[in-house]
């Protein structure tokens, strides 16, 4: 995200573009992991409130705006590739939804988080609330949403919002991405599909959909090659098919 003067506040156009970009990266067989971060030493101050009078002033506009936010965050969450939010500086409001849509959140010790919906008299979207609930539990979710108070990375890690705190979160994220990049893409994408369905409760898991991802992995070239690599005592090389 590259609006450093506005602390990478997310415009409606950015919500739409981010979803498109993540779908494109998810379809690229050369991509093994995706890192999301912000320019200028901050992740994002959240949705760009300065444009709300134009794009989120009426009930209809509010509904359309939430559709765009959900479509973006769902595209990130549904990406078949592992995703890491690399967080410096502020991660506020809608930016928390972006970060929570990623598989992992790596943060600088001084990173600051908050969901200040209660200071704007808006209700955080159901899908974002569900992601928060799945990470931190109901008591912490209520405290974050009711109080609108800020919390730092160490508290975020303690409650399950942040996965890793590092003085250099980008380097830590790149190192972890490299670990995942050496593993079987079909295992990661299939497992991600199952875990998202189990934690989000969005009705996407059916016997047919579960069978599809499991059978795809078992029938894959990667699985055959991994079996042979095990016999030959070598590291398998995965191609995602």
190-235 pLDDT, tens digit per residue, is 999 999 888 876 556 677 777 787 778 778 888 788 778 868 888 8
Q: Are strands 164-165 and 104-107 parallel, antiparallel or unpaired?
A: parallel
Query: Are both 156 and 205 inside the same structural domain?
Result: no
237 inside domain: no
Residue 153: the pLDDT is 98
| Stronger pLDDT, 163 or 130, i.e. the higher one | 163
Q: What is the mean pLDDT of residues 2-13?
A: 95
- Examine residue 208 and state whether it is found in any structural domain, yes or no: yes
Lowest-pLDDT range, 2-6, 73-77, 135-139, 196-200? 196-200
Q: Are residues 111 and 18 part of one domain?
A: yes
| 212 and 134 in a common domain | no
Q: What share of the chain has pLDDT > 70, as a percent? A: 97
**104 domain-assigned:** yes
Domain boundary among 180, 197, 216: 180
Same domain, residue pair 96 and 207: no
Statement to judge: residues 146 and 104 lie in one domain: yes
Question: DSSP secondary structure string, the chain?
Answer: ---GGGTTPBPHHHHHHHHHHHHHHHH-TT---EEE--STT-SB--B-GGGHHHHSSSHHHHHHHHHHHHHHHHHHHH-SS-EEEEE-SEEETHHHHHHHHSSEEEE-TT-EEE-GGGGTT-PPPHHHHHHHHHHHHHHHHHHHHHH---EEHHHHHHHTS-SEE-SSHHHHHHHHHHHHHTS-HHHHHHHHHHHHHHHH--S---HHHHHHHHHHHHTSHHHHHHHHHHHTTS-------
pLDDT at 124 (0 to 100): 85
Considering the domain architecture, whether residues 208 and 90 belong to the same structural domain is answered as no
pLDDT, tens digit, 9 for 90 and up, residues 100-143: 999 999 999 999 999 998 887 878 888 898 999 999 999 999 99
Average pLDDT on 2-28 reads 96
Same domain, 86 and 176: yes
Mean pLDDT taken over the chain: 91
Q: Which domain holds residue 136?
A: 4-180
Task: Please tell me the total count of domains within the chain.
Answer: 2
- Check whether residue 174 and residue 193 sit in a common domain: no
pTM for the whole thing? 0.87
Could you tell me if 189 and 138 lie in one domain?
no
Q: Is the pLDDT of residue 241 over 90?
A: no
- Residue 148's φ and ψ, nearest 5 degrees, are 60, 20
Cα distance between residue 63 and residue 155, in whole Å: 33
Residue 220 lies in a domain: yes
**Averaged over 154-173, what is the pLDDT?**
98
Question: Are both 162 and 52 inside the same structural domain?
Answer: yes
Percentage of residues in the chain with pLDDT exceeding 90?
Answer: 66
Residues 17 and 129 in one domain: yes
Single residue among 163, 180, 197 that ends a domain in this structure: 180
- Same domain assignment for residues 222 and 150: no
Mean pLDDT of 72-88: 96
């Amino acid at each position: 995200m590259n609006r450093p003067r506005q602390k990478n506040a997310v415009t409606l156009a950015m919500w739409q573009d981010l979803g498109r970009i993540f779908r494109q990266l998810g379809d690229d067989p050369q991509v093994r992991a995706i890192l999301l971060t912000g320019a200028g030493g901050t992740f994002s101050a959240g949705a760009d409130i300065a444009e709300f009078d134009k794009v989120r002033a009426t009930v209809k506009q509010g509904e359309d705006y939430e559709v765009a936010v959900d479509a973006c965050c769902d595209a990130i969450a549904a990406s078949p590739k592992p995703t890491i939010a690399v967080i410096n500086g502020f991660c506020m409001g809608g930016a928390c939804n972006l970060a929570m849509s990623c598989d992992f959140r790596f943060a600088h010790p001084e990173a600051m988080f908050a969901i200040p919906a209660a200071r704007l008299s808006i209700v955080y979207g159901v899908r974002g609330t569900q992601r928060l609930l799945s990470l931190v539990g109901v008591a912490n979710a209520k405290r974050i949403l009711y109080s609108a108070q800020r919390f730092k990375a160490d508290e975020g890690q303690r409650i399950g919002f942040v996965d890793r705190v590092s003085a250099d979160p980008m380097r830590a994220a790149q190192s972890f991405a490299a670990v995942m990049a050496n593993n079987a893409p079909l295992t990661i994408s299939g497992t991600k599909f199952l875990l998202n369905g189990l934690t989000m409760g969005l009705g996407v898991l059916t016997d047919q959909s579960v069978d599809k991802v499991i059978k795809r992995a078992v029938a894959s070239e990667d699985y055959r090659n991994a079996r042979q690599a095990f016999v030959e005592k070598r590291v398998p090389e995965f191609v995602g098919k």
